[in-house]
Amino acid sequence: MASNSRGTRPDGPALGSNRDSTRQHNLSTVLRLVHLHGGISRAQLTRATGLNRSTIAALVTELVALGLAVEKEPEHTQQHGRPSIMLRPGPGALALAVNPDVDAVGVALVSLGGRIVNPVRFHTVRAPSTAEVVNIVSAVYSGMAASLPAEQRVLGVGVAVPGLVDPADGRVIEAPQLDWREQPLAEQLREALGLPVFAANDAVVAARAQAAFGAGRDVEDFVYLFGGASGIGGGLVSGGRLLHGSTGFAGQLGHTLVRTDGAACSCGANGCLEAEVAREQLLDAAGLPADQAEDLEERVLELIDAGGDAAQRLRAVVDHQASLLAVALRTLVHHLNPSLIILGGFLRVLARVNPSALEDAVRVGGARGAREEVRIELAPLGADPVLTGAAELAFEPLLSDPAGFAHA
């Protein structure tokens, strides 16, 4: 998990041990903790890993020498006496994060610690082809790379795709909203940029980011649901680990059945959550064009607060969508028994306008144990979890073997 008492994260390794025969494992453990916490003292590292102080000192020295960490005074402290020196992620290692969608291609550099640097959102008039995505990313990255200081290095590319991605080679099996099928996007980007490229489903990597840096920190079991231009996706964390499924395609939560006689879905079924609850319906009701979708939540709240006929029509759309989302949440609670449900993207506004519909849904019927502890939270605004999660894909080789990867 991102930052729990064991100091681990989804898909991360176990903690360090003084008896561990490989220095790589301990160095990886310490760098992961620095990456996830953003700032951590040597004393905290000692407690979190179980390693002795001299071992921690040696590992910290090596990470600093590699440029992967820096030691700094805390920015703010109310402690008496000398404040602890904090180990923070170094600025030299960067990942290029890419998120193609039906109306835009997001590109950003992300540093260790999950900090997004100079994000660019390139709007498109229609869903781009993979060749167009490669051209856009290449042009944006060329400008970014030209202005990087000499001490900064882009280690790889993480791509978050709104569709099914083969975890073995990053091939896009199907992204219906983009009209992509069997597209070797990772390979195309690898050839164009000359960098390692890793790809995964956008909502799954966003769930990973929520576990590492967002509302899912310190939570062992949660469901993340994200609504965007391409539909609704999700990710599942159970026992502190991201669930992949037998072939890597777990978490297709947008295809949860919410109406037996519902609208046709891109997956071929009817009545799926993402077929019934769509961002476009809210944009139309709020009178916003797609290129202003980032203002949707604020506009919906303003219009409803203003009252009048327009507010009533908008409220009816929101309430209808909230009632169908409630059906999906009730199913997820009884099937997965999470302690937390995190709502991101346009799903946030449904919870803000009609919180009772969702709260009541997860507490009605079924076994008492599955519903008595679950709570609903909104994914934080600000940093884009999809881009942050995409960067995690590219950082994984470094986090697994800091010395080996830094010297490559």
Q: Give 84-118 as a DSSP string.
A: PPEEEE-SSEEEEEEEE-SSEEEEEEEETTTEEEE
Examine the domain organization and report whether 192 and 234 are in the same domain: no
Are 88 and 38 within 8 A, CB to CB?
yes
Mean pLDDT (whole number) for 91-103? 93
Which of 225-229, 336-340, 378-382 bottoms out in mean pLDDT, i.e. has the lowest?
378-382
- Helix 185-193 with 130-146: angle, nearest 10 deg: 30
* Whether residue 177 is found in the same domain as residue 305: no
Report CA-CA distances (Å) from 388 to 38, 130, 158, 223, 377.
14, 21, 9, 18, 19
**Does the residue 1 lie in any domain?**
no
**β-strands 340-345, 222-228: how paired?**
parallel
Same domain, 242 and 335: yes
pLDDT on residue 94: 95
| 262 and 282 share one domain | yes
**Coil, helix or strand for 73?**
coil
Cβ-Cβ contacts under 8 Å for 43 (sequence gap 6 or more) = 84
Name the pLDDT band for 372 (thresholds 50, 70, 90).
low
Mean pLDDT of 8-33: 68
Question: In this predicted structure, what is the pLDDT of residue 1?
Answer: 30
Quick one: which of 90, 92, 142, 152 has its CA closest to 120?
Answer: 142
- Quick one: 133 and 257 in the same domain? no
Residue 7's pLDDT is 40
Residues in the chain: 408
272 and 326 part of one domain: yes
Number of domain units in the chain: 3
* Higher pLDDT, residue 133 or 336: 133
Is 14 a member of any domain? no
Mean per-residue pLDDT over the chain, rounded: 87
Mean pLDDT of 27-42: 93
Q: Decide if 157 is inside a domain.
A: yes
324 within some domain: yes
In the predicted model, what is the mean pLDDT of residues 164-175?
90
Strand order in the sheet with 172-175: 164-165, 172-175, 180-183
Q: Mind listing the pLDDT tens digit for each residue in 111-145?
A: 999 999 889 999 998 999 999 999 999 999 999 99
Residue 168 is assigned to a structural domain of this protein: yes
In the prediction, which pLDDT does 2 show?
Answer: 32
pTM metric for this prediction? 0.84
Has residue 406 got a pLDDT over 60? Answer: yes
CA–CA distance, 90 with 306 (Å, rounded to integer): 48
In a domain, 13, yes or no: no
Percent of the chain whose pLDDT exceeds 90: 59
| Number of alpha carbons in the 13 Å side-chain half-sphere of residue 193 | 32
The residue out of 40, 62, 89 marking a domain boundary is: 89
74 shares a domain with 41: yes
Alpha-carbon span 142 to 118, nearest angstrom? 13
Question: Is the per-residue pLDDT at 405 higher than 90?
Answer: no
The answer to the question of residue 128 being in a domain is yes
Q: Are residues 177 and 116 in the same domain?
A: yes
pLDDT: which is higher, 225 or 74: 225
Sign for the pseudo-dihedral over CA of 202, 207, 357, 337: positive
**Sequence-ordered alpha helix ranges (H) in 96-177:** 130-146
What is d(CA 66, CA 408) in angstroms, rounded to the nearest whole number? 12
Check pLDDT > 70 for residue 20.
no
Tens digits of residue pLDDT in 275-321:
999 999 999 999 998 878 889 999 999 999 988 888 899 999 999 99
- Rounded to whole angstroms, how far apart are CA atoms 333 and 140? 42
CA 294/CA 127 separation, integer angstroms? 18
pLDDT band per the 50, 70, 90 thresholds, residue 361: confident
What six digits make up the tokens of 373?
């502890």
pLDDT recorded at residue 11: 55
Query: Band of the pLDDT at 188, cuts 50, 70, 90?
Result: very high
pLDDT at 4: 36
Question: What is the model's pLDDT at position 348?
Answer: 94
- In a shared domain, residues 120 and 143: yes
- Higher local confidence (pLDDT), 247 or 290: 290
Tell me: do 180 and 50 sit in the same domain.
no
Indicate whether 226 and 365 sit together in one domain: yes
What integer pLDDT is reported at residue 76 of this predicted model?
Answer: 59
pLDDT of residue 407 exceeding 80, the answer is: no
What is the reported pLDDT for 5?
34
Range of the domain at 138: 93-205+385-406
Give per-residue pLDDT as tens, 149-161: 988 899 999 999 9
Backbone φ, ψ for residue 186 (5° rounding): -60, -45
CATH assignment at residue 311 = 3.30.420.40
Residues 123 and 193 in one domain: yes
